[in-house]
A and B are shown apart, each in its own frame.
Chain A
Amino acid sequence: MSLLTVQHLQQHFPVRGGLLHRAVASCKAVDGVSFTLGQGETLGLVGESGCGKTTLGKAIVRLLKPTGGSIRFDGHDITQASTSAIRPLRRHMQMIFQDPAESLNPRHTVRDILEEPFVVQKLGSKEERRKWVLELLDKVGLPASGAEKFPFEFSGGQRQRIGIARAIALKPKLIVCDEPVSALDVSVQSQVLNLLLELQREMGLSYLFIAHGLSVVKHMSDRVAVMYLGKIVEMAPSEELYRNPRHAYTRALLDAIPVPDPAKRRERQLLQGDVPSPINPPAGCAFGHRMKHPKWQESVGVDLALREVAPGHWVQPCPCCT
C-alpha cells in the first residue's frame, strides 16, 4: 500500500476585488491532481514558476486547506482534518524549504531549532533531547560545536543541512523538499543532494522532490511528474520520461535545458510565450492553448484525466499535445 495517495486534489484561492472585497474570480493553483507515493520512493515534481508545484507541496503537508479532492497519508484521510487531529501525524511529514536563511529563526540557536520538534511533540527528557540534537548534527555532517551557534554564522549549504536536520528530527516517513538546492552554490548543491540520497537509504524516507531544474529532479527521483497550470500533464519513471516524453510540454521543457557539453549543441524548438495565469485558465488543454495548436479546439470538453500509455507512464490524453 502506498504511503501517500492524492486524488483529484484542488487548491483554489479566491481573488478578491471591487468595493466589497468579494471573490471576483478563482485562482486554480492546483486543479485536479492525482498520484501515489510509496515508502522509500521519490516522486519528482517539475514545472515552470506559477504551475502550482509549491502549492501542491504545501497542501500535502496540510499547511493549506484543500478546496477539493482527497489526501490519504499513512492510512488516514487528512484532507479536512483539524489542526489538533493532524498534529500527531505531523511528525511523520516534514518539509524542507528553498531558502534556509528564511526558514530558520534567526534569534534561535541551532540547538533551539533542532529541539523544537521534540518539544512540540512532547518527546524525551531534557538530557535526551540534548543528546538527540548532537546526533542530528552528526547525521547531517555538522560539528557538535554548531549547536550553540546562530543560523547566520553558517554558510548557505550548512544552513540547508540545519533545515534537513530539523526535518528528519522526528524520523518522518515523508519529506516534501521544495527546491532544496536552488539557492545554493553549484559546488555545494551536490553535497546536499548526496546527503538527501544517503538519508533516504538509511531511514527509508519518501520524498516529494519539487524543483524547476529538470536534471536535478531526474537525478533524485524514481518517478517524475510534469506540472502545467495546476495539472499534471505527464508522469513516468525518470528514465522513461526523459527517453520517451509523450506530452508536447514535457518535450519543450526537456529541449530548453542547457546541456553542459558544447559538443551537444543543437537547434532547438523554442517554446514561445509565457506561462498563462492560473486565474480563469483556458478551457481544454492549457498548453495547446498557449501554443495556439490548430487542434486545440478538439481538446475542449474532452476528459483530460491521465491515462496509462505504457507501464507506469501516464499522460493527458489530449488531441493536440500527445
Chain B
Amino acid sequence: MSLSPTSAILEIRDLVTAFDTDAGRMTAVDGVSFDVPRGKTLGIVGESGCGKSVTAFSITRLLPQPHGKILGGSIRFEGRDLVSLSLEEMQKIRGSEISMIFQEPMTALNPVQTVGRQLAEAILLHEDCPKAEVLARSIDMMKKVRIPAPEQRLNEYPHQLSGGMRQRVMIAMALINKPKLLIADEPTTALDVTVQAQILELIADLQKEMGMSVILITHDLGVIAEVCDEVAVMYAGRIVEKAGVFDLFAKPRHAYTQGLLESIPRLDSTPKSLLKAIPGNVPSIAEFKPGCRFAERSGRVHTEVHLTARPPFTEISPGHFVEQCPICVA
C-alpha cells in the first residue's frame, strides 16, 4: 500500500493492537494505516467497538496494561517509531509533543487537586520552570481557552466548574506545552450541542494559532463534516474508507459509509418518513470475520468467500482509499 509520504506528522502502517482476555486474544485494531497531515485535522469516525479509541491509545501508548499489546505495524511520529520507544522516552513525548483530551473531563481531571496545580504539573513534568513563570503560563493558557477570571479559576476544583469549563481546562492542560499533535477522543460527546459548538470552534482556533495537527475521534458525522480536513471511517477494527472530507461526503464509495450517511435524520428530510436504516447490529470483537466485516449487513448478495478473504485497501482516486470488497464497493 502506498500512502503519500509528504509532510505527514504521523504515519501509521499496518497497526495491529490486541487484548489478551480470558476468552483468548481479541484483535481490536486489525491492520490500520493512515497519515496525519501537518497542521490539518484528521477525523476518525465509527461506532462503538470499531477500534477508534484503541487506535488513539496505541499512538500514545496508553493501552490498558498488561492486557493491551501492539502486535505489529509502525507508528512514525516525526521520523521516530513510537512502537519501539521505551516507556521513559514515550513519557517525554506524551503531554509535550503529543497530547490527548478525553470524552468525560470530570473523570479525566483529578477531583482533589485545584485546576492550577494540575496545569502546573503538566508544565513541570517536562521542564524545570520557576514558580512565577508557571503561574504566568497557566494564566495565559486559561485565557487562550477563554475561561473568564482565570486567576480565580486556578484556585478552584473541577467540581466547581461546568461541563464546558472542565473541557476547556482539559484543553488548556493538553496544549500548555504546545504539542505538535493533539488527539481529541470524543471531546464533545458529553456536552450540550451549544457548548459543543463552542469547544469545536475553540479547538479549531487554537490549532490555527499554534499550527498543530489534530486527530478528532467521534461517532458524529456532523462534527466530522464541520471541522475535519480528512476522514477515516472505521468499522470493526479496520479503516474501510479514507478520503478528503468533501470527497467522502460527496462520493462515498464503501457501502458502510454510504449506509451511515443515508441513515441519519437530517434537518431537511421529511418529518415522520421512514429512514434508510442499516440492518443488523455492529459485530462484537469476538465475531470479527477474517474477510469483509460489513458484507453481511450490506443487504447485498455475498458468499462465504467474501467473509474469509480480506479485501485490499487501495487508492481508487487521488487521496481516496477504500477497502475494496467486491460486495461493499460496487
Contact = CB atoms under 8 A, between A and B. Distances in A.
Interface of A: 42, 48-49, 155, 157-158, 185-191, 193-194, 197-198, 212-216, 218-222, 238-239, 242, 252-265, 268, 270-272, 274-275
B193 interface: yes
Contact of B274 (A189, A194, A214, A218): A194
A158 B280 CA distance: 10
Contacts of B281: 155, 157-158, 188
Contacts of A265: 225-226
Given A215-B266, A219-B273, A274-B162, 8 more contacts: A186-B47, A186-B219, A187-B282, A194-B274, A198-B274, A219-B269, A252-B194, A260-B221
Interface string B153-164: 000000000111
A195 B259 CA distance: 18
Contact of B197 (A197, A216, A270): A270
B219 A257 contact: no
Contact of B222 (A157, A158, A257, A272): A257
B265 A194 contact: no
Interface in B230-265: 245-246, 249-250, 259-261, 263-265
Contacts of A272: 198
A264 B284 CA distance: 35
Given A190-B277, A220-B272, A242 B267 contact: yes
Contacts, number: 147
Interface residues of B, number: 49
Given A188-B282, A190-B263, A258 B246 contact: no
A300 B165 CA distance: 29
Interchain residue pairs A-B with the least CB separation, the first 4: A258-B222, A219-B265, A190-B277, A190-B263
Contact of B225 (A155, A188, A255, A261): A261
Contacts of B165: 274
Contact of B278 (A190, A193, A254, A257): A190
B265 A190 contact: yes
Contacts of B195: 48, 274
Contact of B201 (A49, A214, A262, A270): A270
Contacts of B48: 185
Contact of B260 (A42, A186, A253): A186
B225 A260 contact: yes
B193 A256 contact: yes
A65 B201 CA distance: 42
Nearest to A258: B222
A275 B201 CA distance: 19
A222 B196 CA distance: 27
B278 A220 contact: no
Given A186-B47, A187-B260, A259 B267 contact: yes
Given A219-B265, A222-B272, A263-B246, A268 B197 contact: yes
A265 B204 CA distance: 14
Contact of B267 (A190, A214, A222): A214
6 contacts: A188-B282, A193-B265, A218-B265, A254-B267, A255-B197, A257-B193
Given A215-B266, A219-B265, A263-B250, A256 B196 contact: yes
Contact of A260 (B192, B194, B266, B274): B266
A262 B41 CA distance: 14
The prevalent SS among residues of A at the interface is helix
A158 B274 CA distance: 19
A75 to B, nearest CB: 27
A218 B271 contact: yes
A187 B194 CA distance: 24
Contacts of B245: 262
Interface of B: 47-48, 162-165, 192-198, 200-201, 219-226, 245-246, 249-250, 259-261, 263-267, 269, 271-279, 281-282, 284, 297
B197 A190 contact: no
Contacts of B275: 190, 193-194, 219
A263 to B, nearest CB: 7
A190 to B, nearest CB: 4
Contacts of B261: 260
Contact of A186 (B225, B264, B269, B271): B264
Contacts of A254: 267
A262 B272 contact: no
B34 to A, nearest CB: 19
A53 to B, nearest CB: 12
A42 B272 contact: yes
A263 B249 CA distance: 9
Contacts of B220: 186, 258
Nearest to B218: A258
Given A219-B265, A274-B164, A253 B249 contact: no
A155 B193 contact: no
B197 A262 contact: no
Nearest to A249: B194
Nearest to A157: B281
Contacts of B282: 155, 185, 187-188
Contacts of A188: 278, 281-282
A70 B284 CA distance: 48
A218 B272 CA distance: 8
